Amino acid sequence: MCCDMCDFVVEKDCLKDNDVLLDIFWYYVLYMAIKWQKRFMDGLERVLQSTHIWNYRQLTREFNLLVFFAVLFLIIILRLAFIQLIQADYYDGLLSNQHISQSNLTAER
């Protein structure tokens, strides 16, 4: 291989080889993802260590409220999906009965 993967240095001969450039690109993306993940985890650890018990209770209360509404939303979505997918034939029959009807009209003479 004509490239040094550790330092992300590309020689002139490697510029013709797209596979090597893609490998270098993905190694760099992975390196940056790991670097940002470490920064995020360090920041999260600092925040959690500096959090007092009252802030934790507020966070827990907000989280519980968020979970409650997420579950409620999920139940509504599942019920709508059940009606549209599973009970579609039943409601299609009701619809057909409402659209097709016969009635005898007598002429007024």
pLDDT at 56: 60
**pLDDT digits 0-9 by tens, 25-84:** 778 888 888 888 888 888 877 777 766 655 666 667 788 888 899 999 999 999 999 988
Q: pLDDT at position 4, please?
A: 47
Measured distance CA(9)–CA(2) in Å, rounded:
10
Q: How far apart are CA 29 and CA 46, in angstroms?
A: 26
In angstroms, the CA 71 to CA 63 distance is: 12
Segment 84-101, tens digit of pLDDT: 888 888 988 888 887 777
Compute the distance between CA of residue 88 and CA of residue 90 in angstroms, rounded to an integer: 6
| Rounded-to-integer distance, Cα 30 and Cα 15, Å | 21
Q: Are 24 and 7 in contact (CB under 8 A)?
A: no
CB 10, CB 27: distance < 8 Å: no
Q: What pLDDT score does 55 carry?
A: 60
Q: In the prediction, which pLDDT does 69 show?
A: 93
pTM over 0.75: no
Closest CA to 77 of 89, 65, 85: 85
